[in-house]
Amino acid sequence: MSERERERDMLGASSRPRFVLFGSSIVQYSYYEGWGATLSHLYARKADIVLRGYTGWNSRRALQVLDKIFPKDAKEQPSLVIVYFGGNDSTLPQPSGFGPHVPLEEYKQNIRKIAIHMKCLPKTRTIFLTTPPINEAQILDNSDPQGQKVRTNEACRIYAEACLEVCCEMNVKAIDLWSAIQKRDDWKDVCFIDGIHLTNEGSKMVTKEILKVLKEAEWKPSIYWKSMPSEFDEDSPYDPIGPDGKTHNISNIPFPYPNQWDKIL
């Protein structure tokens, strides 16, 4: 067995690794000018990016489907799962008890249960994303009949910190999106489509943070995109012919070129 075949076997997939993006609308919409689309582009010949995003969902609903999406007895397990829940959990509670709000302590317990489940998948690495900030002024219809704001950036902060706390306790990697996005001075103006969901600029920041974790993680074998072999990247007589009259293997040349990813991400 070759070194690359051993790597692929260690990653837990028969052909190529599988990365699952699991979460609410920040995940579901991540292919609209988004970070999910960028990951799919960078890993196009290295891993399959599988979208499991469900707009409007909270951590309660995530727990209801956890065993269906990530069965513990599945023959093939994902190599990586990126998890995001919290923005809907942090919304204003309703007197009826209905709606997406989840009390803080229950939210922490739900994140803990998700982390425990992922730890039971022996070949799966996990990264949690915290709630990003929001631009309250940009959100339409953000008040209930009593005039209280349904979503606030302060509530996002509280739930983001709760997610980080649980991940630290569980020794699971987490990315503090609430803080990372606000490092940009003009974040309120350029990062959101509607005050909640991310523009291309906002998604670039998410992608950068994810790639930073993947690059620095001491996971063996590495699943950072530059460290992984491309599928079918061997030299071929059918490769394009260069000005020198020789074939040139272009399987690992990033697009668009010259390489922009080192500068942007």
CA atoms of 90 and 163, how far apart (whole Å): 12
Nearest in space to 117 (alpha carbons), one of 56, 165, 73: 73
Active site residue 67: no
Spell 173-186 as b/e; 16+ CB within 10 A means b.
bbbbbbbbbbeeee
Q: Which of 101, 117, 197, 203 is catalytic?
A: 197
Of 143, 194, 227, 236, which is the active-site residue?
Answer: 194
Backbone φ/ψ region at 10: left (φ over 0), alpha (ψ -120 to 50), beta: alpha
117 catalytic residue (yes or no): no
The residue from 24, 59, 79, 90 that is catalytic is 24
Tell which residue, 61, 173, 80, has the closest CA to residue 128: 173
Contact assessment for residue 103 and residue 93, using Cβ atoms and an 8 Å cutoff: yes
Q: Which residues are catalytic?
A: 24, 194, 197
